[in-house]
Amino acid sequence: MLVLSRRKDETIMIGDDVEITIVDIKGDTVRVGISAPRNVTVHRKEIYEAIQRENIAAAQQHAVPNPAALGGIAALLKGKKQEDKK
């Protein structure tokens, strides 16, 4: 981890496109301004982690069912198609 010291109104550059500026310091709280391109997402870590948990939960809800269950569904659909032909 890189550790840098900055004072109010000083900036840190990340690559060519992201600027981190110390906006204000009050007690043990630092306000940080971030300037980044629109295609770079910026979140507080706790928000980022919540988004990741939600994405994992959503992916699990939409996971492909058990292959054996798919075989049963396919057989039901095949039977339904044969009934439609009659």
Chain segment 20-56, per-residue pLDDT in tens: 999 999 999 999 999 999 999 999 999 999 999 999 8
End-to-end CA separation in angstroms for the chain: 70
Q: Which whole-number Å values give the CA distances from 78 to 18, 69, 73, 74, in the listed order?
A: 56, 14, 9, 6
pLDDT of 60 reads: 80
* pLDDT per residue as tens digits for the range 61-83: 776 666 666 666 677 777 755 55
What pLDDT score does 5 carry? 95
Portion of the chain with pLDDT greater than 70, in percent:
76
